Amino acid sequence: MRKPFLVCYDIRDDKRLRRVAKTLEGYGRRVQYSVFYCNISNRSMEKMRWELGKILEKEDDLIVVSLCEICARRFSALNPRKQWEDESESCIVL
């Protein structure tokens, strides 16, 4: 069963930053520079956290927020970026 997650990060090193972003692109969609929306299974979440754990250092920050189904349906990115205009899902986080 898939669950919605919001993944946010603050990485202090550019090389690690790129590796983290590339890893997360395999699990979800970018909604801001350091924020991804992932709709994945618990198993995929554990795999993602394991992969990120191999990249991250103590100085880096990672936040994974589990969203309820109602919140996930209301989630949307409110910005004019053209690459996000095609996305069919939309919600608002208040």
Q: What is the number of structural domains in the chain?
A: 1
Instruction: Give which of 4, 1, 19, 2 is closest to 66, Cα–Cα.
Output: 4
CA distance 61 to 93: 21
Output Rg (C-alpha) for the chain, integer angstroms. 13
CA distance 77 to 94: 11
Give the model's pLDDT for residue 94: 44
**Would you say residue 74 lies in a domain?**
yes
**Would you say residue 71 lies in a domain?**
yes
Give the model's pLDDT for residue 74: 76
Instruction: Give which of 28, 56, 22 is closest to 41, Cα–Cα.
Output: 28
Beta bridge partners of 41: 2
> pLDDT tens digits for the chain (94 residues)?
999 999 999 999 999 999 999 999 999 999 889 999 999 999 999 999 999 999 999 999 999 999 988 877 776 655 545 444 444 555 555 4
**Would you say residue 90 lies in a domain?**
no
Q: pTM for the whole thing?
A: 0.76
